[in-house]
């Protein structure tokens, strides 16, 4: 049963992440709300078939995303990744600032330029924008892959902890509440059956990873992806929008 649960629960780690998504999820690692609303829409809904059933009589819940990212190990590794990604984010911000300056120049001086000069400026904006878009996409994919690797690694070690606690506590089923209804089949749940904090505490004890220095402080979310400016169309007399 444990191996089946491991295979099933690992599937929940395959979700779309961009800069800072896992870090912002960590900021919401409190206990589940009585309404059952999940804290992040990033994790896909977990099908009822992915939950391992036991011989007990109780129904329990766990927010897998919060549990993984809320561990001492998760906080440490995601924070290390955030710092690792900072230089790339700064580089992208610099590229975006350059685009904004060029676009501002086109907007303020475009009508004063002759056709050749204006076309050259527009071409420069378009070229830089294409390069910027490719860099953003590559950076997002790299961050996503590294975040998923951390998530899957911790989840693989956490799965037996969940199973053991469920069996010893008389649970017949544990369902994941990482996503709100209707993205998941969980319409409502109460706090009484939520085992997220218990699992995190047990995992921390077993892992031996100490709590972060700033205990209890939420990790800073990474800066959002800078918006790519839209270049003006060539030879247009209207300023870019």
Q: Report yes or no on 122 lying in a domain.
A: yes
Q: Report yes or no on 84 lying in a domain.
A: yes
At 143-161, the pLDDT tens digits run 999 999 999 999 999 999 9
Cis peptide before 182 (omega within 30 of 0): yes
Q: Report yes or no on 225 lying in a domain.
A: no
At 190-204, the pLDDT tens digits run 888 999 999 999 999
Structural domain harbouring 21: 2-33+44-168
Could you give the angle at the alpha carbon of 200 between the alpha carbons of 205 and 61, nearest 5°?
Answer: 145
Q: Report yes or no on 137 lying in a domain.
A: yes
Q: How many CB atoms lie within 10 A of CB 84?
A: 11
Whole-number Å distance between alpha carbons of 128 and 111:
21
Q: Report yes or no on 209 lying in a domain.
A: no
For helices 196-207 and 115-168, what crossing angle results, to 10°?
90
Confidence bin at 223 (pLDDT 50/70/90) = very low
Q: Which residue shows structure tokens 């590229």?
A: 95
* pLDDT on residue 124: 94
151 versus 49: the higher-pLDDT residue is: 151
Q: Are 62 and 196 in contact (CB under 8 A)?
A: yes
**Which of 142, 185, 216, 144 is CA-nearest to residue 49?**
185
For 126, half-sphere exposure in the C-beta direction (CA atoms, 13 angstrom radius) is 9
Helix, strand or coil, per DSSP, at residue 228: coil
pTM, rounded to two decimals? 0.65
Q: Report yes or no on 134 lying in a domain.
A: yes
Confidence bin at 41 (pLDDT 50/70/90) = very low
Q: Which residues have CB under 8 Å from 89's CB, separation 6+?
A: 19, 139, 222, 223
For 34, half-sphere exposure in the C-beta direction (CA atoms, 13 angstrom radius) is 0
Q: Report yes or no on 101 lying in a domain.
A: yes
Q: Are 146 and 7 in contact (CB under 8 A)?
A: no
Average pLDDT, the chain: 75
Q: Report yes or no on 178 lying in a domain.
A: no
Instruction: Give the total number of structural domains in the chain.
Output: 1
* pLDDT on residue 235: 44
Distances (CA, A) of 119 to 68, 80, 115, 132: 52, 44, 6, 20
Q: 3-state secondary structure string, 64-106?
A: HHHHHHHCHHHHHHHHHHHHHHHHHHHHHHHHHHHHHHHHHHH
* pLDDT on residue 191: 86
Whole-number Å distance between alpha carbons of 2 and 209:
24
């Amino acid at each position: 049963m444990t191996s089946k649960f491991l295979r099933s629960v690992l599937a929940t780690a395959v979700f779309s992440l961009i800069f800072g998504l896992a870090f912002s999820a960590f900021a919401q690692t409190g206990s589940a709300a009585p309404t059952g609303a999940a804290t992040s829409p990033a994790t896909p809904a977990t099908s009822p078939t992915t939950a391992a059933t036991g011989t007990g009589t109780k129904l329990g819940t766990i927010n897998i995303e919060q549990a993984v990212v809320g561990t001492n190990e998760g906080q440490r590794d995601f924070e290390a990744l955030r710092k690792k990604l900072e230089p790339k984010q700064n580089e992208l911000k610099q590229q975006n600032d350059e685009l904004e300056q060029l676009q501002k120049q086109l907007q303020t001086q475009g009508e004063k330029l002759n056709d050749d000069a204006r076309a050259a400026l527009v071409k420069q904006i378009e070229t830089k924008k294409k390069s910027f878009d490719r860099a953003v996409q590559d950076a997002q994919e790299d961050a996503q892959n590294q975040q998923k690797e951390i998530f899957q690694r911790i989840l693989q070690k956490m799965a037996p902890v969940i199973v053991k606690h469920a069996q010893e506590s008389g649970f017949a089923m544990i369902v994941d509440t990482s996503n709100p209804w209707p993205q998941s089949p969980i319409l409502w749940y109460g706090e009484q059956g939520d085992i997220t904090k218990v699992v995190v505490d047990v995992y921390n004890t077993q892992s031996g990873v100490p709590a972060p220095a700033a205990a209890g402080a939420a990790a800073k979310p990474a800066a959002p992806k800078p918006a790519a400016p839209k270049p003006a169309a060539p030879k247009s007399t209207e300023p870019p929008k």
